[in-house]
């Protein structure tokens, strides 16, 4: 089993990386979905829950939940024997790594774990977030800046700086997808 991770600030293009991976037959686990699911259970804002979860259960909590998801999925006999388009054993991509502690957990659990960082300028990201408007997005630039600061407080800057691959997502979508596809295929 191979697992790779994706990091990047909100709106940088992590979900595009996930869609490329899915088209290649890779199973995607989204760390943000873990937070959003918990936020729905608590009837609370995802940003608040992201901080609360880490305070309540430690800085590794979201990563540990994702490791459990991957391992449980890989143990499922109806899934574990499938092959991706890359003709490799079951593959996973974990989207949304935010801290160096999360990277430690993934490296401890998955051999040769690598991280792809996606970078886009703040104004590009904010424009994308206004269009996307997921439950944790805001059309208010001050709220987006506040969210960026929260992400940086988690340690995402260190994860980006120490990533195995850095992809700038400022040009054409097609070029970005082609670059991501090459990286993924290279890692498998």
Q: Looking at residue 76, what is its pLDDT?
A: 76
Alpha helices in the chain (DSSP H): 14-23, 31-42, 46-57, 61-75, 77-80, 100-109, 122-132, 141-154, 156-161, 173-187
**Which single residue is written with the structure tokens 């608590």?**
42
Q: Distance between CA 115 and CA 162 in Å, rounded? A: 8
When pLDDT is averaged across residues 6-15 and rounded to a whole number, the result is: 92
Q: Looking at residue 81, what is its pLDDT?
A: 39
Q: Looking at residue 80, what is its pLDDT?
A: 47
Half-sphere exposure of 15 (CA within 13 A, CB side): 9
Q: Looking at residue 118, what is its pLDDT?
A: 97
**Length of the chain as a residue count:** 188
Task: Provide the residue ranges of all domains of the chain, joining segments of one domain with +.
Answer: 2-187
Look up the pTM and report it: 0.84
User: Residue 168, exposed/middle/buried by CB under 10 A (0-12, 13-18, 19+)?
Assistant: middle
Superfamily of domain 2-187: P-loop containing nucleotide triphosphate hydrolases (3.40.50.300)
Summarize pLDDT for 28-59 with one digit per residue, the tens. Answer: 999 989 999 999 999 998 889 988 998 999 98
Summarize pLDDT for 102-158 with one digit per residue, the tens. Answer: 999 999 999 899 999 999 998 888 887 777 665 555 556 677 677 778 788 788 999
φ, ψ dihedrals at 135, nearest 5°: -60, -30
Summarize pLDDT for 159-178 with one digit per residue, the tens. Answer: 999 999 999 999 899 999 99
The candidate with the shortest Cα–Cα distance to 61, out of 118, 112, 69, is: 69
Summarize pLDDT for 80-93 with one digit per residue, the tens. Answer: 434 444 455 558 99
Task: Give the confidence band of 78 by pLDDT, cuts at 50, 70, 90.
Answer: low
């Amino acid at each position: 089993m191979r697992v790779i991770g994706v990091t990047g600030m909100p709106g940088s293009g992590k979900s595009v990386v996930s869609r490329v991976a899915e088209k290649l037959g890779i199973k995607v686990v989204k760390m943000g979905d873990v937070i959003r699911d918990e936020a729905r259970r608590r009837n609370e804002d995802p940003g608040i829950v992201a901080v609360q979860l880490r305070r309540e259960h430690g800085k590794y909590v979201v990563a540990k939940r994702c490791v459990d998801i991957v391992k449980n999925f890989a143990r499922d006999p109806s899934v574990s024997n499938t092959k991706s388009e890359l003709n490799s054993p079951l593959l996973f991509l974990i989207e949304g790594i935010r801290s160096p502690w999360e990277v430690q957990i993934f490296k401890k659990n998955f051999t040769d774990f690598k991280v792809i960082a996606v970078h886009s300028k703040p104004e590009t990201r904010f424009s994308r977030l206004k269009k996307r408007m997921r439950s944790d997005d805001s059309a208010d630039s001050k709220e987006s800046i506040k969210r960026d600061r929260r992400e940086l407080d988690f340690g995402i800057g260190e994860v980006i700086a120490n990533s195995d691959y850095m992809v700038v997502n400022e040009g054409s979508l097609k070029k970005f997808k082609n670059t991501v596809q090459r990286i993924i295929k290279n890692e498998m």
